[in-house]
Structure formats: C-alpha cells, structure tokens
Amino acid sequence: MSQFWSKIVHTLTPYVPGEQPKLTNLIKLNTNENPYGPSPKALAAMQAQIADTLKLYPDAASTPLLQTIAQHYGVPVDHVFVGNGSDEVLALLFPALLKHDAPLLFPDITYSFYPVYCGLYEINYQTVPLNARFEIDVADYDRPCGGIIFPNPNAPTGVGLPLATIEEFLKRHADCVVVVDEAYIDFGGATAVTLVANYPNLLVVQTLSKSRSLAGLRVGLAIGQPHLIEALVRVKDSFNSYPLDRVAQAGAVAAFEDVAWFDETRNKVITTREWFTNELAQLGFETLPSQANFVFTRHPQRDAAELAALLRERSIIVRHFKRPERIAQFLRITIGTPEECAALVTALKEILA
Ligand SMILES: Cc1ncc(COP(=O)(O)O)c(C=O)c1O
C-alpha cells in the first residue's frame, strides 16, 4: 500500500501465473506448455531477424502476420487482430467489447484472468456455475447480460463444447458479443472461426502459446467481423502501437506456415493424452473428458494438495487450485512427452501403493 497508488490499484487482485521454477531436471506439467518446442522453421525465421534492422520499429499492424492468419483460416484480412499473447488480446477486448451496463457472464470455473480484467476495468460480471458434469450449459446463460466469454475447451477442466452449442449461444445472445477463447482448440475441438461470417457478435481468440509451442514469444490473435476488429485496434492504438516485435512477427508467420510440424506435434500430444488418461483410470483417478493439452483429474481416496506435494518431492510439478471448493480435489496435469507422462504414472503408482 502506498499513498502514491491510484485508487483502483488498492482494489486489484492480480492474476497469479503458474510457477516457473528455476530448478533444472524438473518434470514441469503445471502451465500447459507444449513439450515439443517450436517449429524449426519458426526458429530460423526468428534468428534471421536478429539483425541491424532491429534499430527500426516493427510493422505496427503486423500486416504479413494478419495476411498469413487470414489465409490459414480462409477469412478476409480485416477479420484478424494480433496481440502480445492472447492475454493482451483479452486485456484489450474486455474494455473494447465487454464493458456495458448489464453484467458480463462467464463460468464459475474458468480461466482465472477473466475476473482480474473485470477488476481492472471495473466491469460488472456474474459467474454462471458449470453443471454437475462440469460442462457449460447454454440454458444457464438465459439472463440479461452485456457480453459472454468462455474458453472452448474450458480451462482448467478441458471439457469442450460442440459448434452447435456455440451457435446456440450466438443466436440466443445476438445483441451482445460472445467471445470464445480457443487457447486449446487445436488439441481436439472444432474452431468457431467457421461461424464468424454468419455471426456479427462472435469474436474468437487464439494463441500461439500452446499448439504452436511459442509461449515464450507472446503472440495471440482474434478473429471476428471488421466492426469488432476495429474496436480492438482502437483500444490497442490507445495503449501500445507496437505490441509485436520484429522477431515475434516473423516467428509467428513461419509457425503458421509450418503445418507439418503443427500437425505432427499436436497429434503426439493428443495420443499421449489418451494413453495417460487410460493409465490414470487404472490407478483409480476420475478424469474429465479433455479436448485440451492437459487433463483435470481427481482420486476419490486421496487429497489433491497432498498428491501435488508428494509429486513435487519427486521433482514433478502439476497444478492444484485451492479454490473454488468444488475443484479443490482436482489436479490439472499438462500433457508432456510420453516419457514425462510415464514418469508421472510411475510416481503415482509409488505414492498410491
Ligand atoms: C483459457 C486461456 N486463455 C488465454 C490464455 C493466455 O495465453 P497466452 O497469453 O500465452 O496467449 C491461457 C493461458 O494459459 C488460457 O489458459
């Protein structure tokens, strides 16, 4: 606390990111990173940018990247926006599109940054409980609102919604923006980008941090009709003209172009997830059906915090959320390499023996 703080700073409860320990030799399955690393072509494109041209500002609009993404998804270039990680895209879209008199709605169990943005921008919000199967139920959102946001698949549950349900949201809430945060969509879900042409109220947000393994580069994007994109550009240009540096723009273009690397690595993650879920079941764990690069799992007889601590003693880090109470007995485990997941299974066998 300080007398020098603005009034709003006293009220903030900032987001707490998953731990990034300095220790080596850890099996780090706590922040949903991709174990396979970025496309070698993306790395080469970034290395080529480490040059004298860094004395010049980058392209403020990231035009080649917008064109690459537009081509990838078959949408016009004026439907695409990019930012410094999807967290920044979210940070711009909350004030641009979700701040209205009626409350913003999002699930009670979801990405914990959403209430943090609401605090920062003083956005009135209501949380809507997931149903008993930890699913988002469109009928529960039938109430007055100024906007809706949810991840698909949801985090930290990994549970996905079919496109028909997304479309139902868009139809029932035609008078407000529905943001679908697709951070994990490439691990088994169907993207709502295909609905953008028909729904002026849909904004899809994605990231290169997960399926393209560039969490360290910080590139996120949004796709929607031009009136929504214009709102984002207006807020962005009132905040930071150059959110993506030259290295990030070049790396992101090359990562989108290297479809073979993308497909190979995400398929490996999906295959490992299915194997790992099956192993967990044999150890008595109950795992929610996941379409993401992580699983959300509980053991009916063992305390989740204790399990996380025992794994940590064996140099394996997973994520445990103490709150809300309803998920306090779950662990969120990122899908690593087959070797990392096998080591985790071995450790769990020891612990449960
Ligand atoms: C649901 C969801 N949305 C957005 C993000 C932010 O991703 P990034 O800022 O790395 O693009 C995350 C990160 O874990 C996430 O889980």
Does ligand 1 lie within 6 Å of residue 86's CB atom?
Answer: yes
Does ligand 1 lie within 6 Å of residue 158's CB atom?
Answer: no
Question: Span 103-127, mean pLDDT?
Answer: 97
Q: What is the pLDDT of residue 18?
A: 81
Contacts of residue 149, Cβ cutoff 8 Å, sequence gap at least 6: 98, 104, 105, 106, 114, 178, 179, 181
Q: Please say if the pLDDT value at position 20 is more than 90.
A: no
* Ligand 1 centroid, distance to 86 Cα (angstroms): 6
Which of 32, 33, 87 most suits a substitution to test ligand 1, by most atoms within 8 Å of the C-beta?
87
Ligand 1 nearest atom to the CA of residue 151, by list position: 1
Does ligand 1 lie within 6 Å of residue 111's CB atom?
Answer: yes
CA-based nearest residue to 185, from 69, 336, 291, 72? 291
Q: Please say if the pLDDT value at position 23 is more than 80.
A: no
Question: Span 124-131, mean pLDDT?
Answer: 98
pTM above 0.85, yes or no: yes
What count of other Cβ atoms lies within 10 Å of the Cβ of residue 353?
Answer: 5
What count of other Cβ atoms lies within 10 Å of the Cβ of residue 213?
Answer: 23
CA-based nearest residue to 158, from 291, 13, 19? 291
Does ligand 1 lie within 6 Å of residue 181's CB atom?
Answer: yes
Question: Span 35-41, mean pLDDT?
Answer: 97
* Ligand 1 centroid, distance to 157 Cα (angstroms): 14
Q: What is the pLDDT of residue 49?
A: 98
CA-based nearest residue to 94, from 125, 60, 65? 125
Does ligand 1 lie within 6 Å of residue 157's CB atom?
Answer: no
Q: Please say if the pLDDT value at position 219 is more than 90.
A: yes
Ligand 1 nearest atom to the CA of residue 18, by list position: 14
* 181-194 pLDDT, tens digit each: 999 999 999 999 99
* Ligand 1 centroid, distance to 51 Cα (angstroms): 30
* Ligand 1 centroid, distance to 352 Cα (angstroms): 32
Contacts of residue 293, Cβ cutoff 8 Å, sequence gap at least 6: 32, 34, 184, 187, 210, 211, 269, 273, 334, 335
Q: How confident is the model at residue 16 (pLDDT cuts 50, 70, 90)?
A: confident
Question: Span 7-31, mean pLDDT?
Answer: 89
Q: How confident is the model at residue 232 (pLDDT cuts 50, 70, 90)?
A: very high
Q: What tokens appear for 338 in the block?
A: 């087959």
Residue spans of beta strands (DSSP E) within the chain: 27-29, 80-83, 104-107, 125-128, 147-151, 178-181, 202-207, 220-224, 286-287, 294-298, 316-318, 330-334
* Ligand 1 centroid, distance to 205 Cα (angstroms): 10
Residue identifier of the C-alpha nearest atom 15 of ligand 1: 183
Q: Distance (Å, rounded) from C-alpha 109 to C-alpha 158?
A: 11
Does ligand 1 lie within 6 Å of residue 215's CB atom?
Answer: yes
Q: What is the pLDDT of residue 62?
A: 98
Residue identifier of the C-alpha nearest atom 7 of ligand 1: 86
